[in-house]
Amino acid sequence: MDQLELKKKAQSYLDRENNDFFRKELEEVLAKEDWAELEDRFYKELDFGTGGLRGVIGGGDNRLNTFNIHKATQGLANYISAQNIDNPGAVIAYDSRHFSDTFALDAALVLAANGIKTWLFSSLRPTPELSYAVRELGASVGIVVTASHNPPEYNGYKVYWADGGQLVPPHDKGVIAEVRKVTHDIRILDEKEALDSGMLEYIDTEIDESFIRLIKSYSIRPELIKEWGKKLKVVYTPLHGTGTMLIERIFGELGIQSITVPEQRDGDGDFPTVKSPNPEEASALKMALELGKKEKAQLVIGTDPDADRIGIAEPDGDDFRLFSGNQLGVLLGDYIFSSLKEKNALPKHPALVKTIVTTEMQTLLGEKYGARVFDVLTGFKYIGEKIKEFESDKYEYVFGGEESYGFLCMREVRDKDAISTAAMIAEMVLYHYSQGKTLADRLNELYIEFGMFQEILVSKTIKGPTGAVRIKEIMQGLRENPPATFGKVAVREILDYKEKNRKNLPPADVIQIILEDDTIITARPSGTEPKIKFYASARTAPGSDLAESRKDIDSRLNDIRNFLEELTA
């Protein structure tokens, strides 16, 4: 794109942007004549994908800013209007990221101007509470302003439908089409007018109270918590996000001792104490682990900024052991299914839902308890979609999750939920503690029963205009010229999810490579970042020696990691 075209695009954006911060920020880039930066800001428009918007905050077409929020919300409003919904309503929540409160209010004022009654949380609230509030208030849609666990320069805008789940067909494509039509015709009220007309209403404690009651109602062993709760000490970090108020309250009401990392307790969009506010990464939990050692805690918990992902650690000698998302999902599934069975409370037709990149150990676990195990595409919205399907089916959702530290123990929420999961984890730890076991002890028992499973993720970030091209080349190469061996093991089968697949899932840009030793490697481009991700899962036979199994799996996965590094170089 030449300089004249870049200037023209920049001026077009400035003519439509009414936020002084974003106007001034872009004008400064223009004044510096930073053509590379301008190219990145205007080589494409920030795409409204199936989950909404996510991008770097700033002025420009390929940035998240007030104009793009207005445009997305006007398109959403147009789609809602076309559905002929009686008394349409919307709920909006936001996290601690920069401009989250501004973007949330802007979205509310556009919806209000379009005749859509909007409930806006008065302060930070987690994503799962937004999902719950949509159903609780009988709203038509929900919006949460968050970029989840992305770096501080990002923010995002996720849309939910009336069932409390993220957009899925046909609504996702319908909303995208309407957003792309919007250019200048954007309607917006000022805040006073919206409040005076009743089209905007602030909410907070009334939803908090019912959400907390719901979470506590899902306790399987409330008598255990009452007897043993005071013996459990938890160190918690919200990583400068939204989880503080709800998790502190729930643990307090359950009688569980909880200590929040003071330096990370309050919302802060700079996330000043961590490189990345992602509980998947051990470095993000460093301060919590240090406090856990000091306080002699039995459990450390961390949640991401919008409190939908959760990571944990337990004492291991003088240190703490972190659990992967796959390991935690297996432990939770094991506790929930075994406890419900013990109490004769397991549904007649139980269901466990997992994504195709989540460990197959969950499949074996679900089948042990007579559950139907459903595989879905990567993305928690597909788990939410299954729960909705079960409303008119014989199956009853019991548990679901994905390898990226997202889990759901309740049917009334339709997205991953670190708040209710934190309560269930505490109960699970107390149960094993009362049996004289640690989580590691129970996991080893499950490894002996089902075989040891271990997973790795190799993620390659390729930014800029050439990044998308390179990622497509890698996927195309796997399709057209697949390797005969992966690491040191021969390839047995290749599944291309762009074509008809044996799991009858919708077409997706995903390739699975199955090796002769049953290792599964899954390749997929990220839907929210300029990344290509490879998930590898290896296993050993049931009853194998755990030390030898671990050594064997580590070696196999290390060969695969080296192969993938060469493939994406």
- Tokens found for residue 347: 């549904």
> Among residues 100, 140, 148, 324, which one is catalytic?
148
H or E element: which one contains 485? Answer: strand 485-486
Range 282-287 contact pairs with CB under 8 angstroms and sequence separation of 24 or more: 282/322, 284/239, 284/311, 285/237, 285/311, 285/313, 285/322, 287/237, 287/261, 287/263
CA distance 74 to 83: 14
210 given a catalytic annotation: no
CA distance 194 to 87: 16
**Core vs surface per residue 388-422: b (16+ CB within 10 A) or e:** bebeeeebbbbbbbbbbbbbbbbbbbbbbbbbbbb
Helix axes 418-434, 325-342, angle to 10 degrees: 70
∠452-458-463 over CA atoms, to 5°? 165
* Residue whose C-alpha is closest to residue 431's, from 235, 253, 223: 223
DSSP 123: S
Residues 6 or more apart in contact with residue 305 via CB below 8 angstroms = 95, 96, 97, 146, 147, 148, 149, 238, 239, 240, 241, 242, 271, 277
Helix axes 244-254, 205-217, angle to 10 degrees: 50
∠525-531-536 over CA atoms, to 5°? 65
Point out the residues that are catalytic. 148
